[in-house]
Chains A and B, each alone.
Chain A
Amino acid sequence: MAETVFAPWTDPQQKPLIQFKGVTKRFGDFIAIDNLSQDIYAQEFFALLGPSGCGKTTMMRMLAGFEAPTEGQILIAGQDVARVPPNKRAVNMMFQSYALFPHLTVWDNIAFGLRREGKSKAEIEPRVAEMLRLTRLERFARRKPHQISGGQRQRVALARSLAKAPKLLLLDEPLGALDAKLRQQTQFELMDIQEKTGTTFVIVTHDQEEAMTVASRVAVMDEGRIIQVATPPEIYEQPNSVYVADFIGDVNIIEGVAHPQADGYDILWVEGRQPLHAKSTRSFSNGQRCFLAMRPEKVAIGTEEPETRNKVKGRIIDIAYLGNLSTYHVEVPGGRIIKAQTANTRRLSRRTLTWEDEVWLSWTETAAVMLEE
C-alpha cells in the first residue's frame, strides 16, 4: 500500500501544512490547550484521540478560526492565520453538533457552501448529487433536518463539509452516530476521497479502532497536551507512556523494579517470585521503578508449564467471550489480574479452558514494553 511509504514527518525537507507553535488556549483561567506544538503535513489523515474535555474540539475550532489562541501561533501553509476570518480560510469543518441549518432542506444544506462560491447551477447540482450518493442520502434530499434520524443528520453534516472539497477538512467525530457497518463503509469512503483528492484530514474520534483504520498518524491527547504522536502500529506497539498504552486498546500493566542485565532487564514485581524479563530501547537505572505494558493478545495461555523465561501461574476468574476472541482474566500471585486473549478458532464446546482452571501465562522477552510512567 501507498501508506507505508507516506511519511512526510520523517523528512526534514517537507514543509508542514499546519503548524501549532507553542499554542495555549485559556477560557478564563481554565487551560484548554497547554503550550501545544505540532506539525501536520499535507495529505495526512491526522487523528486526534483523547478523553472527553481534553481539548480536541478546541484545537479544531482554532484551526477553523472560531477561537483565537491565547498564546502562540497557528500557521497554515506557512501563513500565520491569526487575522484570517473563518470564511477566508480554505478549511471546512464538520461540527460535533452538526449545526445543520434547520430552515433548509438536506439538499440546500449541502449546496450552501457551493452557492457562496458563486458556482452556477450546472456545477452545483451534480456535486450535491454526488455528495448525496456518497452519504446515501438521495431519498432524503427534500427533507428538513428535523425530519431525519440522528445518523442521517450526521451524514448531512459530513456531506456539507465535503461538498466544497477544501484543502483541509476538519471532522469532529464524523461517524459517531452511525451503525458499525455504515461507519466502516464511510471510513473507507473517507480514505478513498483522501486518496483521490489529496485533501488533508484532521479527524476527532472516540473510537480508537477508527483512528487506527483511517489515520496516517494518531495523536493521543490529555488535558490540553499531546502525549504521543505516531503511526497506528507504533502507537499500539510502542506507546511512550502508561497513559497512551492504557488509552489505546487493552493492556496489562505490571509495576516493578528494573535491574539491568546483560541481555535486557530483570523486573522484580512480586516479592519472592522469579523476576520477569524484558528487552527495552529505553534505559533504566538499577532499582528504578518501571511499568511493563503488554497486550493481552501477546500473552499465551495454557495448561502445561511453558519453556519460556516469562511465565506466571494463575487461576482463571473470568472469561469474556467476544465472538472471534476470548479474553481470560487470570488471577496471579499478589492478587493481580492479567488478561490473556486468544483467537476462537475452535468451536466453543471443544475448548478446554474454563473458570477456576489453573493455567500458565507466558510471553516473550520482546512482547512487553518497559515504561517509566
Chain B
Amino acid sequence: MRRLILIAVPYLWLLALFLVPFLIVLKISLSDTAIAIPPYTPTLDLAGGWAAFKDFLGQLDMENFVWLTEDDLYWKAYLSSVKIAFFATVLTLVAGYPIAYAMARAAPEWRPTLLMLVILPFWTSFLIRVYAWMGILSNEGLLNGLLLKLGLIAEPLTILNTNAAVYIGIVYTYLPFMILPIYSALEKMDESLLEAAEDLGCSRLQAFWLVTVPLSKQGIIAGCFLVFIPVVGEFVIPSLLGGSGTLMIGKVLFEEFFNNRDWPVASAVAVILLLILIIPIILFQRNEQKQREAEG
C-alpha cells in the first residue's frame, strides 16, 4: 500500500502538470479561432450534458494541422529550428567538454568553487543576460569597441541580429547543461584507468580517445539532449539576438499566439513541436536508464 502511494505521487504530479495541460493544448489545436474570450470555439459546457458533449466533439477538426502543411513557413521553421539546435548543440559540446574535463582534473578542493562558477549565471535573470549580450554584440557594443581599439578590424562587425549572435547566445545560455553531466561522468572516472592504458602502450592522446571519451559517453549524450531539446523550441534568444533571417519555430509560435491571437494554430504548432521532440526525449530517457544499469 505504501509502495502504491509512493508510486502514485509522482504520477499524479505528472498527470496534473503535464498531461492535463497537454490535453488542453491538444483540444485547442482542434478548435477554430473566434473573436471571443477565450479566442476559440467550441468551449466545453458541462452543464449541457451528454448531448452538448457530443456536439462539442463534432466541432473539433484537424483543420489547423492541414493548414500547417499548406503554408511552407511552418515546416521551414521546424527544419531551421532543428538545424540551429543541432549545430548549437555541437558547438556547446565543443566548448563544454574541455571545460568539464579541466574541472574534473582540477584539484579536489577547487572543484566545488568551479561548479559554483558554472551555476552562477543562473542567479541572474535569463532575460537580463540575453539583453547584456545585445550590449556586447551590437555595432557600437563592447566586442566591436574592443576589436576596433586593438586595431584588428577597421569597420564594426555586424553580429547582432544574425544567426551568429543566436549561436553565441545559445552556447552561452546552455553551456552549464552540457558541462554538468559531462563533468559528473568525468569526475567519477578512476585515474588509474588512464595509467593502465598508458602502461599497456597508449600515448596520452590514445588513452583519452580509448578510455576517457567512452567513459564520458553517457554524460555527452545526456548533455547533448539537455541542450538540443529546449533549444528547438527556444524563443527568447532568436527574437532578441536573431534577425529577420532567423527562422525558429518558437518565434513563429509566439507570433501566432500573441500577434495574431490565433490560439488554435499556435496550439497546433506546439503539438507538432512536441511530437518532433518526443523521439529525442525517449532516446534521452533510454540513455539515462542505460547509465543507471551500468552503475547498478
User: CB within 8 Å of B: which residues of A?
Assistant: 64-66, 85-87, 91-93, 95, 97, 99-103, 112-113, 116-117, 146, 160, 164
Given A101-B211, A146-B294, A164 contacting B200 (CB threshold 8 A): yes
Residue of chain B at shortest CB distance from A102: B215
Q: Are A116 and B206 in contact (CB under 8 A)?
A: yes
Q: Are B199 and A93 in contact (CB under 8 A)?
A: yes
Within the assembled complex, what's the spacing in Å between the Cα atoms of A102 and B212? 11
User: CB within 8 Å of A: which residues of B?
Assistant: 190, 192-193, 195-203, 206, 210-211, 214-215, 217, 294
Chain B facing A: main interface SS: helix
CB distance from A131 to the nearest CB of B (A): 13
Q: Contacts of B203 on A, CB cut-off 8 Å?
A: 87
Looking at the complex, which one of B199, B201, B217 makes contact with A64 (CB distance below 8 Å)?
Answer: B199
Instruction: Give me 7 other A-B pairs in contact (C-beta within 8 A), A65-B198, A101-B193, A101-B196 excluded.
Output: A87-B199, A87-B200, A99-B192, A99-B195, A99-B196, A116-B202, A146-B294
CB distance from A93 to the nearest CB of B (A): 5
Q: Are A160 and B198 in contact (CB under 8 A)?
A: no
Within the assembled complex, what's the spacing in Å between the Cα atoms of A370 and B200? 47
Within the assembled complex, what's the spacing in Å between the Cα atoms of A95 and B215? 19
Within the assembled complex, what's the spacing in Å between the Cα atoms of A92 and B195? 11
CB distance from B191 to the nearest CB of A (A): 9
Within the assembled complex, what's the spacing in Å between the Cα atoms of A157 and B16? 52
Q: Are B206 and A66 in contact (CB under 8 A)?
A: no
Q: Contacts of A85 on B, CB cut-off 8 Å?
A: 198
CB distance from B113 to the nearest CB of A (A): 22
Looking at the complex, which one of B190, B201, B217, B294 makes contact with A99 (CB distance below 8 Å)?
Answer: B190
Q: Contacts of A102 on B, CB cut-off 8 Å?
A: 193, 215, 294
CB distance from B54 to the nearest CB of A (A): 58
Residue of chain B at shortest CB distance from A96: B192
Q: Are A87 and B202 in contact (CB under 8 A)?
A: yes
Residue of chain A at shortest CB distance from B295: A146
Within the assembled complex, what's the spacing in Å between the Cα atoms of A16 and B217? 45
Q: Are A87 and B198 in contact (CB under 8 A)?
A: yes
Q: Contacts of A65 on B, CB cut-off 8 Å?
A: 198
Residue of chain B at shortest CB distance from A86: B198
Q: Are B190 and A97 in contact (CB under 8 A)?
A: yes
Offer 30 A-B interface pairs, CB within 8 angstroms, sorted by A.
A64-B199, A66-B195, A66-B199, A85-B198, A86-B199, A87-B198, A87-B203, A92-B200, A93-B196, A93-B199, A95-B192, A95-B195, A99-B190, A99-B192, A99-B195, A99-B196, A100-B196, A101-B193, A101-B196, A101-B211, A102-B193, A103-B214, A103-B217, A112-B197, A112-B200, A113-B200, A116-B201, A116-B206, A117-B201, A160-B200
